[in-house]
Amino acid sequence: MQVNRELFDHVMVPNYNPSEVIPVKGKGSRVWDQKGDEYIDFAGGIAVNCLGHSHPNLVNALKEQGEKIWHLSNVMTNEPALRLAKKITDATFADKVYFANSGAEANEAALKLARRFALDNYGEHKSKIIAFNKGFHGRTFFTVTVGGQAAYSDGFGPKPADIVHCDYNDLETLKSLIDDNTCAVMMEPLQGEGGIISPTQEFAEGVRALCDQHNALLIFDEVQTGVGRTGHLYAYQGLNVTPDILTTAKALGGGFPIGAMITTTDIAKHLKIGTHGSTYGGNPLACAVAEAAFNTVNTESVLTGVQQKEAMFRELLEAINTKYNVFSEIRGKGLLLGAVLNEQFEGRARDFLVASMKHGLMTLVAGTNVVRFTPSLVIEEDDIKAGLARFELAVADVVNG
């Protein structure tokens, strides 16, 4: 069988438009395609591959658990899930964990829990959910409606109700929207898909205060920012603003699908037996790999390493910009970085991505105006240098037409 990009168009639902390149192997921050061409990976599977490709700790965990037990269902619990939950709760504000299989599912659980908590404690009127424009929370109908791009939730019939949106970093508008009927405010503690937008400290603290004032739960969607990405285990720890519910996925499994919703005992108790569930949630194979990823990332050396690597990225990107004058700003935190195109190149982020690919570099975009980098948290300095040398060639290509 000829397995190529053409086959995609024959057999796959056309909701994606993937690259012509089909990778077949990865090691660390290098990836090889069917032809044996090599790429440096600054995309990290969209902030998922926190330890690069084929990290020995993850491969060993997968092999070991693979020879023990793969799946049980939630009729039984299992050792890897309990160990992982204990480690997550020990390392965060949370006391309780609900395992899911993806970011959207973790967020779905968070939103359902917030609604149930408000219903049980205050009554049916308290159902308003406030979220932010440009925010992204996944593609289930509830989460995509809470997300801040109506285009993604339009065209599927009646939407889940009582969800309103506000601009990120706009505390005054939030103040005018929030009231005692509000059950939750959901936000990313650094908007990823929306363009790598950091909250101001004043905004983050202000949201927390407004939630407290109106007995609304603060949900942090850390699906992209979590598990070391910003140089802290979770971004809330760097902001010193603690949410009531936090969701984590992407890097949690280092490439194996898993998500989690974590919260306090007092809130968790409203998800009583039978109120919510998932066949695969807490699957032993997923939890064993996630435990290995968590153990590896949650160390002083990896987390401070992220900050050092951020500094290196920024310095080398600034040097490219000094030569070619294409960016108005390098923004983000840790290894969730965005190079924002200046007026002259406005809207052309995809051109930089395509040119990078031609020079053997995998990057991402965040919207049409930001080139996004979410590499492995343990990427070697030599790979950063080599990757950005390739990026410079790509920038030169775009600038020279």
Ligand X SMILES: *Cc1c(COP(=O)(O)O)cnc(C)c1O
Feature table: binding site for pyridoxal 5'-phosphate: 103-104, 136, 221-224, 279
**Segment near ligand X (CB under 6 A), from 88-96, 131-139, 348-356, 390-398?**
131-139
250 is catalytic: yes
- Residue 103 interacts with ligand X (CB under 6 A)? yes
| Cβ atoms of 242 and 263 closer than 8 Å | no
d(CA 168, CA 145): 16
- Residue 104 interacts with ligand X (CB under 6 A)? yes
Pick 355 or 370: Cβ nearer ligand X? 370
Of 132, 136, 142, 352, which lies in the binding site for ligand X, with binding defined by CB under 6 A?
Answer: 136
CB of 142 to ligand X, least distance (A): 12
CA distances from 274 to 73, 82, 271, 278, 312 (A): 14, 19, 8, 11, 49
Smallest CA-to-CA distance from 370 within 203, 236, 191, 204 is with 191
Which of 136, 294, 345, 352 is catalytic? The answer is 136
CB of 187 to ligand X, least distance (A): 10
Burial of 128 (0-12, 13-18, 19+ CB in 10 A): buried
Of 65, 78, 92, 102, which lies in the binding site for ligand X, with binding defined by CB under 6 A?
Answer: 102
Which of 126, 128, 134, 250 is catalytic? The answer is 250
H or E stretch covering 45: helix 44-47
Determine the size of the site formed for ligand X (CB under 6 A).
15
- Residue 248 interacts with ligand X (CB under 6 A)? no
Which of 41, 221, 244, 383 is catalytic? The answer is 221
Of 108, 188, 244, 383, which lies in the binding site for ligand X, with binding defined by CB under 6 A?
Answer: 188
221 is catalytic: yes
136 is catalytic: yes
Pick 107 or 296: Cβ nearer ligand X? 107
Q: Give 43's DSSP letter.
A: S
CB of 327 to ligand X, least distance (A): 22
- Residue 252 interacts with ligand X (CB under 6 A)? no
Pick 332 or 360: Cβ nearer ligand X? 332
Smallest CA-to-CA distance from 255 within 111, 365, 377, 115 is with 377
- Residue 41 interacts with ligand X (CB under 6 A)? no
- Residue 28 interacts with ligand X (CB under 6 A)? no
Pick 137 or 359: Cβ nearer ligand X? 137
- Residue 199 interacts with ligand X (CB under 6 A)? no
Q: Which amino acids are annotated as binding site for N(2)-acetyl-L-ornithine, given as ranges?
A: 139, 278
Phi, psi of 107 (to 5 degrees): -70, -40
d(CA 221, CA 247): 5
Pick 127 or 225: Cβ nearer ligand X? 225
- Residue 249 interacts with ligand X (CB under 6 A)? yes
- Residue 278 interacts with ligand X (CB under 6 A)? no
Q: Which amino acids are annotated as binding site, given as ranges?
A: 103-104, 136, 139, 221-224, 278-279
Tell me the H-state helices in 214-348: 235-239, 265-268, 284-297, 300-324
CA distances from 164 to 94, 129, 223 (A): 27, 6, 21
d(CA 104, CA 371): 24
d(CA 188, CA 137): 8
Smallest CA-to-CA distance from 103 within 290, 247, 294, 253 is with 247
| Cβ atoms of 319 and 307 closer than 8 Å | no
Pick 187 or 388: Cβ nearer ligand X? 187
d(CA 158, CA 209): 33
Helix, strand or coil, per DSSP, at residue 219: strand
Residue that has been written with the tokens 């240098």 in this structure: 385
Say which residues have a Cβ less than 8 Å from residue 172's Cβ, sequence separation at least 6: none
- Residue 221 interacts with ligand X (CB under 6 A)? yes
Pick 171 or 249: Cβ nearer ligand X? 249
- Residue 108 interacts with ligand X (CB under 6 A)? no
The residues assigned a catalytic role are 136, 221, 250
Contact positions vs ligand X (CB under 6 A): 102-104, 107, 136-138, 188, 192-193, 221, 223-224, 249-250
